Amino acid sequence: MVKRSADQKLIRITNQNLIIDTIRTNESATRSSLSKTLQLSVPSVCANVDQLIELGIIRETGEESSSVGRKAKLLKLNNDFGYLVSIDLSNPCVTIAISSLKPEIVHEHKFDLEQFELERLTDLLLENIERILTAKQLPLDKMLAISLSVPGIVDSKKGIADCGSYLTKLGKVPFRDLIQRKYDVPVLVQKDIDAAVIAEMKYGVAKACKDVVFVSADVGVGLGIVLNGGLFKGSSQASGEMCKFVMDREERLDDSPKKRLVDLVSVGSLVQAVRSDLTSGAQSVVLNEAGGQIEKVDFNTIIRGTLANDDLCVKHVRECARIMGIAVTNMLLLLDLECVILGGGFVTLGPAYTDTLAADVRKHISSDLHIVNTMLKNKAVLLGGIAIGLESIFEEVLKERSVE
């Protein structure tokens, strides 16, 4: 008897989750359209919809204008049912966003993470989450989930990240356990580039695509891969570690490491290359902007120099684009994808980077490949974290609050 009751509850939760997902995906639905779409009986749909309305997850918003005869009530997700917290750790300017269920970012808070503060990362995250919740007077009982996107190799099932990029020195961090000590809600942990590619497929430039990669060059180099509509994470959750691509065929007599892609295409490598030429006597507007002090030339000055068509900056940016083009070309020859999305800080360098990369790839790839810039830009990771959260939170909510 207990087993049958448990089975019935599982079936009910599964059906209710399907109803929520259908309404969320289509923005609205009627009871009859849900019955047809999900192939559930009308009485079953009505009973489950009534429970979801009682729980406050969905609401009736009016009548379907196109219906003939008796007009059917339209059902929509109640965007005020609760909120999600999405955290973007992809770069040292950490962003925490609050999203409704629409999904829509309604509040955003940023703070800079200095190198000497890395060891305090979890405490700083919790402090800043608390700051935004207090400032916006958001009740804790309305928080549905916290979604954290981090660079590195991420075991999403365990909520542990083997941090990469500027967080590398932290090693493995059990983010889920650390955050759940304070907030008793589901904590989702995913790779930042995985979040970015999901966002572009849900809300951005790749809505119609099933085989997509998001290529990011910034402080580090990363790759988010979607095959046949689903994230590809690999056997050990380590797919997309493009930064470790070996780009060096030289024989070495000692144990010194071979050059990797990140050693040739990243913010650090670009700045170093420009500074090296300046030290050798090359002329550039960036040196004037830095007051003649080579050590003050940084990525932001190189962006401005590149957009102003400074010869030295453009030369090095195009070289980075050609190197990245080689890596992208080899990946495409292996996977035969339909869309490549370019993201990360390097996209802000403009056509010298994006057009050069695309042109080099097209020399070798003859298919109808789309190479496009991110549409969501610096919001991609945040929105991806929200999208991933929305895919999973309602099952947990229904388990906790479903009527017996």
What pLDDT is stored for residue 6 in this prediction? 62
Strand pairing category for 339-343 and 370-373: parallel
If phi > 0 it is left, if psi is from -120 to 50 it is alpha, else beta; for residue 281 that is: left
Cα 178 to Cα 9: distance, rounded to the nearest angstrom:
31
Q: What is the span of the domain harbouring residue 144?
A: 83-200+381-401
Residue 11 pLDDT class (50, 70, 90 cuts): confident
**Of 123, 171, 191, residue with least CA distance to 384:** 191
Q: What residues have CB less than 8 Å from 23, skipping those under 6 apart?
A: 29, 34, 58, 75, 76, 77
Q: Do residue 212 and residue 345 come from a single domain?
A: yes
Q: Do residue 185 and residue 275 come from a single domain?
A: no
Q: What residues have CB less than 8 Å from 88, skipping those under 6 apart?
A: 94, 95, 96, 97, 149, 192, 195, 381, 382, 385
Residue 173 pLDDT class (50, 70, 90 cuts): very high
Using a pLDDT cut of 70, give the percent of the chain over it. Answer: 96
For the ranges 1-5, 71-75, 177-181, the lowest mean pLDDT is seen at: 1-5
For the segment 274-322, what is each residue's pLDDT rounded down to a tens digit?
999 999 999 999 999 999 999 999 999 999 999 999 999 999 999 999 9
Helix (H, G, I), strand (E, B) or coil at 292: coil
Neighbouring C-beta atoms of residue 30, cutoff 10 Å: 20
Neighbouring C-beta atoms of residue 347, cutoff 10 Å: 20
Q: Do residue 278 and residue 339 come from a single domain?
A: yes
**Of 98, 77, 100, residue with least CA distance to 87:** 98
CATH number of the domain encompassing residue 194: 3.30.420.40
For the ranges 208-217, 218-227, 255-264, the lowest mean pLDDT is seen at: 255-264
Q: What residues have CB less than 8 Å from 207, skipping those under 6 apart?
A: 201
Cα 202 to Cα 204: distance, rounded to the nearest angstrom:
6
Q: Do residue 71 and residue 183 come from a single domain?
A: no
What pLDDT is stored for residue 190 in this prediction? 97
Q: Do residue 194 and residue 212 come from a single domain?
A: no
Cα 385 to Cα 404: distance, rounded to the nearest angstrom:
31
Strand order across the 230-231 sheet:
230-231, 221-227, 212-217, 339-343, 370-373
Where would I find the H helices in 112-189? Answer: 121-135, 175-180
Strand pairing category for 187-191 and 172-173: unpaired
Bridge partners of residue 339, in order along the sequence: 212, 370
Q: Do residue 216 and residue 327 come from a single domain?
A: yes
What pLDDT is stored for residue 54 in this prediction? 93
Strand order across the 93-100 sheet:
104-112, 93-100, 83-88, 143-150, 187-191
For the segment 56-93, what is each residue's pLDDT rounded down to a tens digit?
999 998 776 655 556 788 999 999 899 999 999 999 99
Q: Do residue 18 and residue 148 come from a single domain?
A: no
For the segment 139-152, what is each residue's pLDDT rounded down to a tens digit?
999 999 999 999 99
Mean pLDDT of 131-139: 96
Q: Do residue 38 and residue 129 come from a single domain?
A: no
pTM tops 0.85: yes
Neighbouring C-beta atoms of residue 10, cutoff 10 Å: 11
Q: Do residue 246 and residue 358 come from a single domain?
A: yes
Strand pairing category for 160-163 and 152-155: antiparallel
Q: Which helix (H) or strand (E) holds 340?
A: strand 339-343
39 by Cβ neighbours in 10 Å (0-12 / 13-18 / 19+) ranks as: exposed
Q: Dmax of the chain from CA atoms?
A: 84
Final residue of a structural domain among 24, 55, 77: 77
Q: Do residue 65 and residue 124 come from a single domain?
A: no
Strand order across the 172-173 sheet:
152-155, 160-163, 172-173
CATH number of the domain encompassing residue 23: 1.10.10.10
* pLDDT of 241 strictly over 80: yes
CA 182 to chain centre: 24
What pLDDT is stored for residue 38 in this prediction? 94
Helix (H, G, I), strand (E, B) or coil at 114: coil
Residue 397 pLDDT class (50, 70, 90 cuts): confident
What pLDDT is stored for residue 258 in this prediction? 83
Q: Do residue 136 and residue 282 come from a single domain?
A: no
The reply to whether omega before 139 is within 30° of 0 (cis) is no
For the segment 199-222, what is each residue's pLDDT rounded down to a tens digit?
999 999 999 899 999 999 999 899
Bridge partners of residue 45, in order along the sequence: none
* pLDDT of 1 strictly over 50: no
What pLDDT is stored for residue 191 in this prediction? 97
What tokens does 354 get?
Answer: 């994006």
Neighbouring C-beta atoms of residue 404, cutoff 10 Å: 6
Final residue of a structural domain among 45, 77, 109: 77
Q: Do residue 101 and residue 217 come from a single domain?
A: no
What pLDDT is stored for residue 64 in this prediction? 67
For the segment 343-385, what is each residue's pLDDT rounded down to a tens digit?
999 999 999 999 999 999 999 997 889 999 999 999 999 999 9
Q: What is the mean pLDDT of the chain?
A: 92
For the segment 20-42, what is each residue's pLDDT rounded down to a tens digit?
989 988 889 999 999 999 999 99
Structural domains counted in the chain: 3
